[in-house]
Amino acid sequence: MKLQYLGTGASEAFPALFCECDVCVRALKAGGKNIKRRSSMLINDKVLIDVSPDLYMQKLEYQLNLAKVESIVVTHADEDHFDVFSLMLRGKPNYCQINYAEGGVEQVQVYGNETVEALYKKGVNKKLKGYQEQLAYHRVNPFQPFTASNMVFTPLLANHRLDEQCYIYMIECEGKRILYANDTDAIDEINYETIKGKRFDLVSMDCARGILPGDGHMGLGENRDMKRKLQQYQCVGPQTRYLLTHISHMCGMTHDELQMEAAKYEFEVAYDGLTIEI
């Protein structure tokens, strides 16, 4: 299973779009891993989690062939995760041509919740016809597994917004299992009922709050609690890797500084372009 972090930043990116705070200035100067685009992940080059507003630059930077993406799984409807305009560029009404002979995908399957579906439909309806051949939407429900390409996704309940049922996902493929857990604060007990006894090879956690306490996103404190819970429910072992993502300027630490803190708990701070084979 090949996991590629295309972006590891929070909604405002890092350095933040208009921000001149101390850490944004330092991150800009330091460059490299300290530069974080909006969060998303590409799995096995064919399943994309979330459509970030930075997808275009991510395509250029990592030389992605997005025509080969078969499925797009969306966590929630916030603009940093579901840029409906970018998705619509996949349709013939936008003169998008796909080379099927070279493995281009005819119809992309999009999966998400009810709120994402409403945004999707609004986007599709702007152009009256022509998208159905290239894009199909599937509403998915909490704790009900579905198959995207050859991967089994189980939506779990994030703790992120009151007005939307946001998801994190358990993803199973090729005998491996990962937990993709942003954007969320500490998750409710009901989720552990579903995943207990299931061993994760990798746990990717929201750490937007850094050293600050959770507020709809996790910080290192909630990350540590989550690791403890996962241990308690026999979901993790010595081989499990813990990656932190959705990093923000709000706690005042650059990637390098946060990595020093995170290392104390055996967490790795993910960075844009990081590719992991499990």
Contacts with Zn ion by CB under 5 A lie at: 11, 16, 19, 21, 24, 80, 183, 249
Q: 16 vs 247, which CB is nearer to Zn ion?
A: 16
Smallest gap, in angstroms, from Cβ of residue 199 to Zn ion?
A: 27
Q: Are strands 146-148 and 135-139 parallel, antiparallel or unpaired?
A: unpaired
Q: 173 vs 251, which CB is nearer to Zn ion?
A: 251
Q: 70 vs 183, which CB is nearer to Zn ion?
A: 183
Q: 21 vs 118, which CB is nearer to Zn ion?
A: 21
Cβ-proximal residues to 73 (8 Å cutoff; 6+ apart), any chain = 47, 48, 49, 50, 111, 112, 148, 153, 169
107 exposed, middle or buried (CB, 10 Å; 0-12, 13-18, 19+)?
Answer: middle
Show the tokens assigned to 233. Answer: 């429910």
Smallest gap, in angstroms, from Cβ of residue 185 to Zn ion?
A: 12
Smallest gap, in angstroms, from Cβ of residue 98 to Zn ion?
A: 29
Whether the bond into 15 is cis, omega within 30 of 0: yes
Residue tagged 């200035």 (tokens) = 25
Q: 21 vs 96, which CB is nearer to Zn ion?
A: 21
Smallest gap, in angstroms, from Cβ of residue 21 to Zn ion?
A: 3
Smallest gap, in angstroms, from Cβ of residue 212 to Zn ion?
A: 14
Q: 172 vs 183, which CB is nearer to Zn ion?
A: 183
CB 226 within 8 A of CB 205: yes
CB 15 within 8 A of CB 27: yes
Smallest gap, in angstroms, from Cβ of residue 70 to Zn ion?
A: 24
Residue 137 φ then ψ, to 5°: -105, 140
Show the tokens assigned to 51. Answer: 């459509």
Query: b/e for 145-154, b at 16 or more Cβ within 10 A?
Result: ebebbebebb
